[in-house]
């Protein structure tokens, strides 16, 4: 729409993107269209819909005005033609991969990816006859070496979870073009505020909208963005797979995104301040954050990102028990999974996400006993730093 194209800034897009339409009752806020089905005036209107002469609702699994508004806003934030919401981030990933791949084909995924994504690729996709190769993150040469004649898809997070490695998007696109592959980036940790992979030539970008986009730890949703043709194909698949979100969730997402740019400014500031504080601290063995000099792909991050988010991972100089004592000594963050909300959250991945695994298996995946993932919220920076400083005293 012409009025949407003029919305250039992140804050303006976050507030107005996807909403510059006439609404029922001239309401400023997008209403919650709490309906499962839509009526037709007569059979001719039904025929007009089926033949593409009009655009209106038919059945809740195929679309909803509240959901559509949230999709348009996310598309505006990501510089995309279109967006498609799903019930969760994992629903987005699994449905997308099931739609894009078939038996006998091959995909490449980077190693430092969310464990449930890896489990789906290693387990269900393999059982369906889809081959999967896992390559080290942030190593384009390893990606190219893994390409086979039947490779169809490159999938990576950027930054990755939990070590925040940054994929070189230009290199990934160059490899994909040489081998005629589709590319998908999970940009949840970066957010559209800090990075727009489509601008580099990536085909599809997905987010767990549960995190920074929603921003308040009160909803579950996922989203994929891209060009109109690819999103249309995925929307057709969604009508069969059924992993839709609901209008109330979409309303909460719309409301959360109004303050998205403002929240990201504080997330970025708190993440960077925390990473700098931890860098070189005598009780911290190593830190991981794209915005500091010690992080390996820092030059790539500076080239393709505008900010680096609120998640900081680091290793305490101590045992599993000492790391747990540090976490328990923190007074501000909640001990909880997830990230991207206004509240700071902290977890020890060895106990939170990988507890069921044997220690040697966790080590094989690079999840050490002393690893901490701190998702900084939007609290005052000085308060967060003072809290971490006092908690580190238990690590003597």
Write down the residue that tokens 């994992």 correspond to: 90
Q: What is the CATH number of domain 2-257?
A: 3.40.640.10
Q: Which pLDDT score, from 0 to 100, does residue 353 have?
A: 80
**Token duo for residue 308:** 């680096």
Give the pLDDT of residue 1.
34
Per the DSSP assignment, residues forming a β-bridge with 204 are 184
Which of 72, 211, 362, 373 is flagged as catalytic? 211
Residue span(s) of the chain under CATH 3.90.1150.10 come to: 260-395
Verify whether residue 102 is a known catalytic residue: no
HEC sequence for 210-239: CCCCCCCCCCCCEEEEECHHHHHHHHHHHH
355 in active site: no
Which of these, 288, 232, 222, lies nearest to 85 by C-alpha position?
222
pLDDT tens digits along 308-327: 999 999 999 989 999 999 99
List the catalytic residue out of 186, 203, 246, 369.
Answer: 186
Q: Is 186 marked active-site?
A: yes
The answer on pLDDT for 40 being more than 80 is yes
Q: What is the pLDDT of residue 6?
A: 56
Domain with CATH 3.40.640.10 in the chain: 2-257
> Domain spanning 260-395: which CATH class is it, in words?
alpha beta
pLDDT band for position 280 (cuts 50, 70, 90): confident
26 is catalytic: no
- Separation of alpha carbons 213 and 226, rounded Å: 17
Catalytic residue among 20, 38, 48, 61: 61
Catalytic option among 13, 33, 72, 114: 114
The sheet with strand 345-347 has its strands ordered as 284-288, 311-316, 371-375, 345-347, 334-335
Confidence of residue 364 (pLDDT cuts 50, 70, 90): confident
């Amino acid at each position: 729409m012409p009025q949407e194209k003029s919305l250039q800034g992140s804050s303006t897009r976050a507030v107005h993107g996807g909403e510059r339409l006439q609404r029922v009752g001239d309401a400023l806020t997008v209403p919650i269209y709490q309906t499962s089905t839509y009526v037709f005036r007569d059979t001719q209107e039904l025929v007009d819909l089926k033949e593409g002469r009009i655009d209106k609702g038919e059945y809740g699994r195929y679309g909803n005005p509240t959901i559509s508004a949230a999709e348009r806003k996310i598309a505006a934030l990501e510089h995309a033609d279109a967006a498609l919401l799903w019930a969760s981030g994992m629903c987005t990933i699994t449905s997308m991969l099931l739609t894009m791949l078939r038996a006998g084909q091959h995909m490449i995924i980077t190693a430092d990816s969310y464990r449930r994504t890896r489990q789906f690729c290693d387990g269900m996709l393999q059982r369906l006859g889809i081959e999967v190769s896992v390559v080290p993150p942030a190593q384009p040469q390893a990606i190219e070496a893994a390409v086979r004649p039947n490779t169809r898809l490159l999938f990576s997070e950027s930054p990755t979870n939990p070590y925040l490695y940054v994929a070189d998007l230009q290199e990934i696109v160059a490899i994909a073009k040489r081998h005629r592959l589709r590319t998908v980036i999970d940009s949840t940790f970066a957010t559209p505020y800090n990075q727009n992979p489509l601008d580099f030539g990536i085909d599809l970008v997905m987010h767990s909208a549960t995190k920074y986009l929603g921003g308040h730890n009160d909803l579950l949703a996922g989203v994929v963005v891209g060009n109109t043709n690819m999103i249309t194909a995925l929307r057709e698949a969604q009508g069969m797979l059924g992993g839709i979100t609901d209008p109330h969730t979409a309303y909460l997402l719309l409301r959360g995104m109004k303050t998205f740019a403002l929240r990201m400014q504080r997330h970025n500031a708190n993440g960077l301040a925390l990473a700098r504080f931890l860098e070189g601290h005598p009780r911290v063995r190593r830190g991981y954050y794209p915005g500091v000099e010690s992080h390996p792909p820092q030059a790539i991050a500076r080239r393709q990102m505008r900010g680096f988010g609120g998640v900081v991972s680091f290793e305490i100089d101590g045992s599993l028990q000492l790391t747990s004592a540090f976490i328990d000594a923190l007074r501000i963050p909640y001990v909880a999974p997830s990230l991207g909300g206004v509240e700071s959250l902290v977890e020890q991945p060895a106990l939170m996400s990988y507890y069921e695994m044997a220690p040697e298996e966790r080590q094989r995946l690079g999840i050490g006993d002393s690893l901490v993932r701190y998702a900084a919220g939007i609290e005052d920076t000085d308060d967060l730093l003072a809290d971490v400083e006092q908690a580190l005293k238990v690590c003597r």
